Amino acid sequence: ERVMTQSPATLSVSPGERATLSCRASQSVSSKLAWYQQKPGQPPRLLIYAASTRATGIPARFSGSGSGTEFSLTISSLQSEDFAIYYCQQYNQGVTFGGGTKVEI
C-alpha cells in the first residue's frame, strides 16, 4: 500500500500570504495525485488532479506540482474562504489519502 504523508499537520498563515502544502508518497505514484479541500460539515471538494491540473471552477491561485514521490499544493494568496483542511490522494495503485493539512489563521 502506498502511504501518503502530508506536512505540516497545521499551517498558520495570514490572508494574502502564500501557502505551500507538501505530500510525500512512500513509493512513486507517477503523476496520479489529486488534492481536495474540506471545510467543516462539508464533503471534500476536488481542487487538482493529475498532480497539476485544476478541476473545473477552481481559482487560479491554487496550483499543484510534483511527480514520483514529492508533491506540493500552493495557494498563491490566501483568501478567507481557503481556510480548511487539504488532503492529497494517490490513485496510481488503489486509492490512499494523506492525513491532511489544516490551514488556519
Partner 1 sequence: QVQLVESGGGVVQPGRSLRLSCAASGFTFNRYTIHWVRQASGRGLEWVAVVSPDGNHEYYTDSVKGRFTISRDSSKNTLSLQVNDLRAEDTALYYCARQGMSDDWWFDYWGQGTLVTVSS
The binding site for partner 1 (CB under 8 A) comprises 32, 34, 36, 42-46, 49-50, 55-56, 87, 89, 91, 94-100
- Specify whether the CB–CB gap between 37 and 45 falls below 8 A: yes
At closest approach, how far in Å is the CB of 101 from partner 1? Answer: 11
At closest approach, how far in Å is the CB of 38 from partner 1? Answer: 8
At closest approach, how far in Å is the CB of 44 from partner 1? Answer: 6
- Specify whether the CB–CB gap between 82 and 73 falls below 8 A: no
Three-state secondary-structure class, residue 82: helix
